[in-house]
Amino acid sequence: MLNWLSQVVAVTLVNLRTIPQRLGASLATIVGVAGVVVVSIAVFSIAEGVRRAMTSTAAADTAIVLRSGSDSEMMSGLRREDTRTITDAAGVRRGPSGPVASSELYVVVDIPKRSTGTDANVPLRGVQPAAFEVREEVKIEEGRRFEPGRNEVIVGRSAAASFAGLDLGAKLRWGESEWTVVGIFSAAGGLAESEIWCDVGVLQPAYRRGDSFQAVYAKLESPESFTAFKDALTSNPSLDVKVLQESEYYEAQSRALTGLIRILGAVITVLMGAGAIFGALNTMYAAVAARTREIATLRAIGFRSGPVVISVLVESLLLALAGGVVGAAIAYFGFNGFQTSTMNWATFSQLSFSFAVTPALIAVGLGCAVGMGLLGGLFPAWRAARIPVATALREL
């Protein structure tokens, strides 16, 4: 066994010392693998960024109430008397000002993107004062909160960065009304940062919504209170509502979008990976061909075929792993934290998010590189081990 291992080390070192003689082909393999890793990590980091933006701040002790049969707020509708019944239900947390619940209205407005100047649908959410207690992560970073009864808005930090005309003090015209940006807020990187907030009592007449709402966000006494809260509402014959935990609601909304992105990423990775594998095959076949007599000589003096196979595989793996490391570094420093926006198909509005290159994605990228290296070196290694010694010694 010790002799076998010493043969593996000796042949592998010989192979690695000859890499500078094949520098061009070796660099082509490294660059090809790096390209696959960069693209795959970048695409999957989009899905992770979207998932984080939609679910990172969703709380188990916050419930969302929609009209029965609605998949999103855009499809929902609730009367004011319905919202009163909901906020008075068992399990809702009570504060000094009453139930910690916000009846809300959700519309979209056209605002040009800073990057392209093209119009995009941005969420405009009408909320009640309790919204700031329901979403405890919301903090005013610049300016102040809007005042109830006035045409004032506060803008999420991501929305302000992604869309034009949302700077502090800016005047905006939607429909027949003019609005003033009085504050910029953060929400721990969550979905609310993609939104614009205003007083729901002002938004209703501005968009001719009468006395209607679309959802109620309620902070519960504890996560365990959800069942009692849900049962109280769904068993009430005067209500026709759907009750969800906030975490459940946003997880379901993110699933379709992130699933589509991940499928796209997998397809791209497979297609580009096939090209990288062929590149590695060419490199390793050329390496084996250039060392045919050398390999035959080693076998003639007693080296086994197993160490030869392993030495070729190790070289292929190291080249691929080098490409993987380069690609992962480019992906992390080039994309991690990069902010952009995409369409949230559940609400037909823009969702601002940041690419999230996580350790898990880097590990997946390096795993893909190792897989490409193994596949790219397997057949050349098999060929090297099966070359007839006598035939190889007569070559060249």
Q: What is the pLDDT of residue 174?
A: 82
Domain identity same for 268 and 385? yes
pLDDT at residue 164 is higher than 80:
yes
Domain identity same for 152 and 198? yes
Domain identity same for 211 and 272? no
Q: What is the pLDDT of residue 386?
A: 65
Q: What is the share, in percent, of the chain residues with pLDDT greater than 90? A: 37
Of residues 44 and 20, the one with the higher pLDDT is 44
Domain identity same for 91 and 206? yes
Where a domain ends, among 207, 239, 271? 239
Q: Give the H/E segment covering residue 95.
A: strand 94-95
pTM of the model: 0.77
* Burial profile 104-143: b = 16 or more Cβ within 10 angstroms, e = fewer: bbbbbbebebeeeeeebbbbbbbbbebbbbbbebbeeebb
pLDDT at residue 387 is higher than 70:
no
Domain identity same for 76 and 209? yes
pLDDT at residue 301 is higher than 90:
no
Average pLDDT over residues 206-232: 91
pLDDT in tens, 76-110: 999 999 999 999 999 999 988 889 999 999 998 88
Average pLDDT over residues 134-150: 93
Domain identity same for 181 and 268? no
Evaluate whether residue 207 is within a structural domain.
yes
Domain identity same for 146 and 188? yes
Q: What is the pLDDT of residue 362?
A: 94
Q: 210 vs 199, 202, 213, CA distance in Å?
A: 14, 11, 9
Q: Which two tokens stand for residue 42?
A: 């970048």
What residues form DSSP beta bridges with 64?
217, 244
Domain identity same for 16 and 115? no
Distance CA 288, CA 18 (A): 11
Q: What is the pLDDT of residue 23?
A: 62
Where a domain ends, among 195, 211, 239? 239
Distance CA 169, CA 192 (A): 20
Any idea which of 97-106, 142-151, 189-198, 293-302 has the lowest mean pLDDT? 293-302
Evaluate whether residue 244 is within a structural domain.
no
pLDDT in tens, 354-373: 889 999 999 999 998 888 88
Of residues 210 and 395, the one with the higher pLDDT is 210
Q: What is the mean pLDDT of the chain?
A: 83
Average pLDDT over residues 302-317: 68
Q: What is the pLDDT of residue 146?
A: 95
User: Within a 13 Å sphere around the CA of 291, how many CA atoms are in the beta-carbon half?
Assistant: 28
Distance CA 85, CA 89 (A): 6
Structurally, how many domains does the chain consist of?
2
Where a domain ends, among 181, 209, 239? 239
pLDDT at residue 1 is higher than 60:
no
The separation between the first and the last C-alpha atoms of the chain, rounded to the nearest angstrom, is: 34
State the residue range of the domain holding 269. 2-55+253-394
Q: What is the pLDDT of residue 214?
A: 94
pLDDT at residue 35 is higher than 80:
yes
Q: What is the pLDDT of residue 392?
A: 47
Domain identity same for 87 and 217? yes
Distance CA 316, CA 279 (A): 11
Of residues 356 and 10, the one with the higher pLDDT is 356
Q: Which two tokens stand for residue 268?
A: 């791209």
Q: Which two tokens stand for residue 275?
A: 């090209």
Confidence of residue 199 (pLDDT cuts 50, 70, 90): very high
Confidence of residue 313 (pLDDT cuts 50, 70, 90): confident
Q: What is the pLDDT of residue 345?
A: 66
Interaxial angle between packed helices 2-17 and 305-335, expressed in degrees from 0 to 180 and rounded to the nearest 10:
50
Of residues 387 and 164, the one with the higher pLDDT is 164
Altogether, the residues listed in the chain come to a count of 396
pLDDT in tens, 102-138: 999 999 888 998 878 888 889 999 999 999 999 999 9
pLDDT at residue 42 is higher than 80:
yes
Domain identity same for 388 and 352? yes
Domain identity same for 330 and 198? no
Any idea which of 9-18, 222-231, 350-359 has the lowest mean pLDDT? 9-18
Q: What is the pLDDT of residue 396?
A: 46
Q: What is the pLDDT of residue 148?
A: 92
Domain identity same for 16 and 150? no
